[in-house]
Structure 1
Amino acid sequence: MPVALLTFTAACGSDSDSTTPNPPANTDALGPVNKAAGTPVKIGIISDGQSVALDNSIQFDVADAAVKWLNEHRGGIAGRPIQLVTCETQGDPGKGTDCGNQMIEQDVVAVAIGESGVGDAVAKPLTDADVPAMFYGLTSPALLSDPTTFTVSDPNFAIQQLPIAIAKREHLKKVTSVVIDVPAVLPSVQETAPKLMKAAGLEYSLIRVPPGTADMTAQLQRVTSGTPGVVFVVGNDSFCISAFNGLRAVGYDGSISAVSQCVTDATRKAVPSDVLKGMTIAASMPSGGDDPSTVLYNAVLEAYGKGIDPSSSVGRGMFVTFAGLVTALEGVKGDITPASATAAIKAMPEKELPGGGGLTFRCNGKASPETPAVCIRGGLTTTLDGDGQPTAFKVLGNSPIPD
């Protein structure tokens, strides 16, 4: 799922020039040197950053490291260096709108939004001005149909396709979604999921829980009644910790699955291993492991970052989104403007998504014709081991996207 939806975030930031740091530590993983030169191309980065609910400020650190790698090894955009323009929403819709307007005022040619609980507010000024925006994930029907909006995750994969697949595999008849109650998630769990579950012959139940709820036992009591099914948890790690421990407290011993944002080092410390072991996790990108995309990601952080936690799925989501946007812009011609950037994104051939664990993407509107903003099909799954660590990530449903 696009849990670009699940996060919340200090004040809008300033422009950030990309200077080359010390020589990289892993030249093989980073690729040959191909330095950008000339007039910088402004790319916007919007994140919820830090708020009372959680801290996603790692996204800015990851974007800064990524742009240094792209300028040093990937020739920036069309040979020109990328210059970041950053803005922080703090999960406030008003500040989200301000961030969108600041991007226009700063003359950025495109914007990357990793994860945001106020994505609609961020997007409104951008869509009105036809500035292309690449999101980590979306569920808003209006944005999924917008001609200058793009997303590098399949909105139906995690919240719908994976729990349906688990229920069928385990011969279960019911799916219960335990979901963090933020507006950006609701279209997917309230409108799309019931139809898909019904078509699959499954009973569907939705439990919405406000962010910051420490004790969910009252909300989760009803999970233990009736026929056992699959419980699918959608939220950030602190939310999921409360959900997992709440399920254990009410005596639920059935199948549990979750989005990758649920499982971090904090989760592994706070949730008993018997709850995590064997849990199936949906992901739009890996969070750990030693596949080539993870080796690349870790090399970028080692060479160009400072103290960035490589296990953070929120950080990895920004890398995938930002590097995906730049990859989609590789074919841009002539003057680099929002219009030419949009044209290049739509004309790109199918390519591997940087940091995406082997997933490929293409933004020509045909990955999901009913939601043309979607650039990808399917996603990744993994099973947690006894330490709550992911085992091998598997690509699921990532079929070729036609011309």
Structure 2
Amino acid sequence: MIPPRGTRTARMLAAAAVITSATLAIAACSGASSDDTAGSAAVSAPPASFPGDAAKGPTVKIGLINNEGGQAISQPDNRLAAEAAAKYANAHLGGIGGHPIELVTCKNAEDPTSARDCANRMVENKVSAVVVTTTGLGDLLVPIITGAGIPYVSASGQSSQELTGDDVFLWTGGFPSALSAMATHAKSQNMKNVTAFTIDVPAAVNGLKTMGAAAFAANGVGLDIVTIPPGTPDATPQVSAGLSKNPEAVLVVGEGTLCTAALKSLGTLGYSGEKMGIQACATPDVAKAVGSSIDGTKIVTAALTDGDDPESVLYQSVMGQYAPDADISGYAYVGYQGVLGLVRATRSLDGSDVSPTAVTTAIRSARDVTLPAGDGLTFTCNGAANPQLKAVCGKGSVFATLENGKLVDAEVVGR
């Protein structure tokens, strides 16, 4: 990811876009990746995962909008992962309805003009669906896309239009599921007092104040929220203030810079309670910067990308074959989940009709679709996963422990 730079407005836009994926299922890596972690390793998936069922005939156009090329934020690896998923599906899964997927890609610079342009281009190209990797501008994108009768799909979302809009489908439970998993874990450990250290952007702070406070309260746990400005290199003053209430656990919400600052401060201050965080806090760069004090941190995510379960192995194998130069240690998986999730959710299409209406109907009728790289998570887009947020199709999260830079002892909770 290109590090945030420029004005405070640009930094806030970047942070908001990062929080879209990091907290609502999840953000971009902070800074450049270490040389020893970048790139896709060669991993062999079971032969059955590559049946060679190639798509044939006329293509089906699928839109892809990725936050890329802007001054404040750029995540090209998300696009590379989406492209890899499409290539894999075309070569081995029959594409969509037997038709090869033709991605119509638009790079969203994460400003209103760029977002509207991307949405309008999808309509002009008459795509059958639009996959959005991550964005902080869903309220602008959704009305244009779904207003044209085109389904809008993503691994997760944050805006009101994304979470509650008609013809919007979000494969994962996102931030609500992550917060619910953390709250349930706190209750299971008989905790009564938890402090959240969060990046000071609306998507994160408002989510914690509304969904987070409610989830923890429902489990009999108090939640104190401490905000940290974006880009803060040393969060010791904020962390020290948050520890003054002697929390039994802390949780960290933000992108890589925030995770590094907060977790380093916790180590410096000698905090010995339990630590929880989102996947942005588990990247190799963060683990290296924080050091051994990060070990034992509980990470809540919607994907497990470096494990040995079948979905993790498949992700590594597909990326190694079709996007070998992509960095898969961070959040590239949101592009992979978006495209391959769409392929799996439309398996009922027989190829005679791959129009937007047919795609929407197929998605609504699919049941218990395996979430790509989801360690056993599934999704069903019938509005029942979270009745208050009808676009959310999945529930549950992957709960794992960070040890020596790796996520271990992963389990699915809240499903």
Q: Residue 382 of structure 2: which of 350, 353, 364 is its match?
A: 364
The TM-score normalised by the length of structure 2 is 0.84
Task: Map 1:319-338 to 2 at 5 A.
Answer: 319-332=336-349, 334-338=352-356
User: Which 4+ stretches in 1 moved above 6 angstroms?
Assistant: none
Q: Deviations over 1:119-161 (max 9, x none)?
A: 3333232233232111221243443222211111113555421
Shift of 1:296: 0.6
Shift of 1:27: 6.7
Q: Deviations over 1:279-299 (max 9, x none)?
A: 111010103111111111111
Structure 1, gaps ≥5 residues long: 10-23, 399-403
What corresponds to 1:18 in structure 2? none
Instruction: Report the RMSD for the aligned CA atoms in angstroms.
Output: 2.4
Separation in 2, partners of 1:307, 1:235: 26
Q: Does 1:214 align with 2:244?
A: no
Seen in structure 2, the aligned counterparts of structure 1 residues 288 and 94 have a Cα distance that, compared at 3 Å, is same
What corresponds to 2:168 in structure 1? 149
Separation in 2, partners of 1:207, 1:29: 48
Larger RCO, structure (CA 8 Å, separation 6 or more)? 2
Separation in 1, partners of 2:201, 2:128: 29
Shift of 1:345: 0.6
What corresponds to 2:56 in structure 1? 37
Shift of 1:368: 1.9
Q: Deviations over 1:256-288 (max 9, x none)?
A: 1001122111112101112x2111110101031
The TM-score normalised by the length of structure 1 is 0.87
The question of whether the paired residues in 2 share the 8 Å contact of 1:38 and 1:81 is answered with yes
Q: Does 1:315 align with 2:347?
A: no
Task: Map 1:240-259 to 2 at 5 A.
Answer: 240-259=259-278
Separation in 2, partners of 1:54, 1:272: 27
**Partner-residue secondary structure (3-state), 1:77:** coil
Seen in structure 2, the aligned counterparts of structure 1 residues 106 and 364 have a Cα distance that, compared at 3 Å, is same
What corresponds to 1:13 in structure 2? none
**Partner-residue secondary structure (3-state), 1:117:** coil
Separation in 2, partners of 1:311, 1:148: 31
Q: Residue 286 of structure 1: which of 280, 288, 304 is its match?
A: 304
Shift of 1:62: 1.0
Seen in structure 2, the aligned counterparts of structure 1 residues 187 and 127 have a Cα distance that, compared at 3 Å, is farther
Separation in 2, partners of 1:61, 1:157: 27
What corresponds to 2:184 in structure 1? 165
Q: Does 1:389 align with 2:406?
A: yes
Separation in 1, partners of 2:116, 2:281: 28
Q: Deviations over 1:296-333 (max 9, x none)?
A: 11111122123122322x11122112110121122235
Shift of 1:36: 0.6
Shift of 1:182: 3.5
Separation in 1, partners of 2:257, 2:411: 26
Shift of 1:192: 1.9
The question of whether the paired residues in 2 share the 8 Å contact of 1:38 and 1:80 is answered with yes
**Partner-residue secondary structure (3-state), 2:408:** coil
**Partner-residue secondary structure (3-state), 2:209:** helix
Separation in 2, partners of 1:94, 1:224: 42
Separation in 2, partners of 1:27, 1:394: 22
Separation in 1, partners of 2:200, 2:144: 25
**Partner-residue secondary structure (3-state), 2:114:** helix
Separation in 1, partners of 2:355, 2:203: 29
Q: Residue 157 of structure 2: which of 128, 138, 155 is its match?
A: 138
Paired amino acid for 1:289: G
Q: Residue 76 of structure 1: which of 95, 98, 102 is its match?
A: 95
**Partner-residue secondary structure (3-state), 2:407:** coil
The question of whether the paired residues in 2 share the 8 Å contact of 1:49 and 1:58 is answered with no
Identical residues among aligned pairs (%): 33
